[in-house]
Amino acid sequence: MYPSFLPPLVNQLTEPEAIAMAQSLQQAAIATSLRPEPILTSFSQQGNGKQAILLIHGFDSSVLEYRYLMPKLAEHFDVWAVDLLSFGFTERPENLVFNPDTIREHLHSFWQQKINRPVIIVGASMGGAVALDFALAYPEIAKQIVLLDSAGLAPKPFSRFAMVPPLDRWATDFLGSMNVRRKICQSAYFDKSRVTEDGVICGAMHVGCDRWQETLIKFTKGGGYGSFYPKLKGISQPTLILWGRQDQILGIKAPLKFKQGIKNSVLHWIDNCGHLPHVEQTDVVVTKILEFCQTPAVSVG
């Protein structure tokens, strides 16, 4: 049985990992300072280790992108994956601003009410920018950081100014197409043969949620996350940077800048890998995270 809040597309899943991840999803009413009513927040929790890991998904994505990584980490850790405010299957309330500040507030409220102990925060793509923002705001909570082909070095795009009616609707209609989602998946992988139909479905399922289009437009118009480079010197937590050597989305210069900007960091390149190492090279990512958590101040490769 799947949770009732998932769109009908979930019934087309065939891969065991995708099915299990979808079935593990829950929703909790998370109280925040953003509005009087709580926000229904979707998440998954697996494992029961002494250390807690918090997984943060990328832009226009959901916790389903961690369908391979989460159960492997759960063999060693207490693992949580949460759909950020305005993303995934989390509720998208009307009359609410969707920007990095509200995302941070909602994430902190989720942590308080569900985890409430220091975490190793793992962020993929835009999720890396979210992780950095959270770690800067709450250094006592994020004790270690793992960046997976992370965003957070580019300035806010000028294209956000072009998101005006009717262009905003046209752009999101285009992005909501299954064929377009399939092409996005293909561009993110090094090995195109690994782009399965379930992978496409997992990357597109949240498009069927209420107010997906409106909230994506609101977030994009705000510019999303800009460059954290001047703030990286404020990151004191041990940080592991994992980067696909064939990343065609963010390229291969960004990890060097992250390594330069974060004083207590190590960089490991992942061969034969594009923008999604946690999907394309899951076992390597698990191994490196385990090594990092055991000896966070020492280079792991």
What is the band of 194 on the pLDDT scale with cuts at 50, 70, 90? confident
Q: Who has greater pLDDT, 231 or 294? A: 231
- Residue 87 covered by a domain: yes
- CATH number for the domain harbouring residue 269: 3.40.50.1820
Residue 3: inside a domain: no
In a domain, 300, yes or no: no
Whether residue 249 lies inside any domain: the answer is: yes
Dist CA 238 CA 107 (whole Å): 21
Predicted confidence at residue 54, as pLDDT, reads 98
**Nearest 5°: phi and psi at 16?**
-55, -40
18 lies in some domain? yes
Report whether the peptide linkage leading into residue 166 is cis, meaning its omega lies within 30 degrees of zero.
yes
Q: Which residue has the tokens 């782009």?
A: 195
Indicate whether 70 pLDDT > 90. Answer: yes
Read off the pTM. Answer: 0.94
With a cut of 90, say whether residue 158 has pLDDT above it.
Answer: no
For residue 77, with 0-12 CB atoms within 10 Å meaning exposed, 13-18 middle and 19 or more buried, which class applies? buried
What tokens appear for 214 in the block?
A: 């409106």
pLDDT (0 to 100) of residue 75: 97
| Overall number of domains in the chain | 1
Cβ partners under 8 Å of residue 20, min gap 6: 67, 71
Cα–Cα distances in Å, from 251 out to 210, 228, 230, 234, 256?
A: 33, 17, 20, 24, 11
Rounded distance, CA 138 to CA 143, Å? 9
Q: Look at residue 301 and tell me if it is in a domain.
A: no
In a domain, 219, yes or no: yes
Question: Is residue 70 in some structural domain?
Answer: yes
Containing structural domain, residue 37: 8-294
